[in-house]
Structure 1
Amino acid sequence: MPIQPVDVAYTAVATAENGRDGRVASDDGNLDVVVNPPKELGGSGAGTNPEQLFAAGYSACFQGALGVVARQAKADISGSTVTAEVGIGKTPDGGFGIKVALTTRIPNVDEATARALVEKAHQVCPYSNATRGNIEVTLTVG
């Protein structure tokens, strides 16, 4: 699929120092965190890591997309949550890759409606659009 042009409304800026074993900060000062590889990847696990940051961003973005499609459908998603699990590991070619599992809970709608909303949100969410065709993303309605 060709890259679609984007009329940029906002740009986030963050700078990393020392890669996976250092610090990441946003230019506006709202984010300033120590990053460290998890113990499973040989680090101390003392700070956050890029996978946690990606999971936080994806879950928040997907929740926002869910809100957009729910308003269009006039569906009540109050009390809903989106949990993103981001896994990292080796790829068959010797590199590294990630995969994502999104679990969405929507207590105030039936399962069929919840599934339809999640599928539509997956088409709207900028993170879903950025990763589509690049990484495995599974959707679960819980």
Structure 2
Amino acid sequence: MKIIYTAEALATGEGRNGHARTSDGKLDVNLAIPTEMGGNGEGTNPEQLFAAGYAACFHSALQMVARQEGADVSDSAVGARVGIGPTDAGGFALAVTLEVSLPNLTHDTALELTEKAHQVCPYSNATRGNIDVVLAVAED
């Protein structure tokens, strides 16, 4: 693979209760454990950052495959829900649901494009076989 871009970020402090910043300073956030996990929730968390990144990346992949197919994806949106929970082995794992809205397409066409985007999205390719990912296409 020929790398065309590399993002850099540094996390400091106490991990989930710390700080994260990209090398260019465009992302600069305080981190906090969510209240649901016993924290104070007064900052963002890795799952929120992952959800935002996956949603944006998948939306770009969806727009790319739609352009190739000549499909109208204006007014489209992708939401991501990222859950975290304990595994039987004693660690933690993630689960993702991607919610795709393509209001200008039939449900079958929207499903087809969503599946194609799932094959080309870098986040989907990175998580495939490692994280449960559910694709949900809205009935518009």
Q: TM-score interval w.r.t. the shorter chain?
A: over 0.9
SS in structure 2 at match of 1:103: strand
Aligned ranges 1:28-47 → 2 under 5 Å? 28-47=24-43
SS at the partner of 2:21? strand
Deviation at 1:92, TM superposition (A): 1.0
- Aligned residue for 2:117? 121
User: Quick check: 1:21 aligned with 2:11?
Assistant: no
**1, 8, 12: which one pairs with 2:3?**
8
Superposed structure 1 runs of 4+ greater than 4 Å apart: none
Deviation at 1:14, TM superposition (A): 0.4
SS at match of 1:118: helix
Write the deviation string for residues 53-72 of structure 1: whole angstroms up to 9, x where unpaired: 00000000000000110000
Percent same amino acid at aligned positions?
Answer: 58
Residue 75 (structure 1) aligned with residue 71 (structure 2): yes
TM-score normalised according to structure 1 size: 0.95
Counterpart of 1:94 (choices 74, 90, 97) is: 90
Distance, in Å, in 1 between the alignment partners of 2:73 and 2:31 is: 33
CA distance in 2, matches of 1:103, 1:29: 30
Distance of 2:53 and 2:64 partners within structure 1 = 17
Residue aligned with 2:29, SS: strand
Q: What secondary structure does 1:54 align onto?
A: helix
1:66 aligns with 2:55: no
Q: CA deviation at 1:52?
A: 0.1
- Quote the Cα distance in structure 2 between the aligned partners of 1:29 and 1:39: 27
The alignment's C-alpha RMSD in Å is 0.5
Tell me what 1:3 maps to: none
Q: Cα offset for 1:46?
A: 0.4
- TM-score normalised by length of structure 2: 0.97
**Aligned residue pairs, count:** 137
- Unaligned segments of structure 1, at least 5 residues: 1-5
Return the offset for 1:32: 0.2
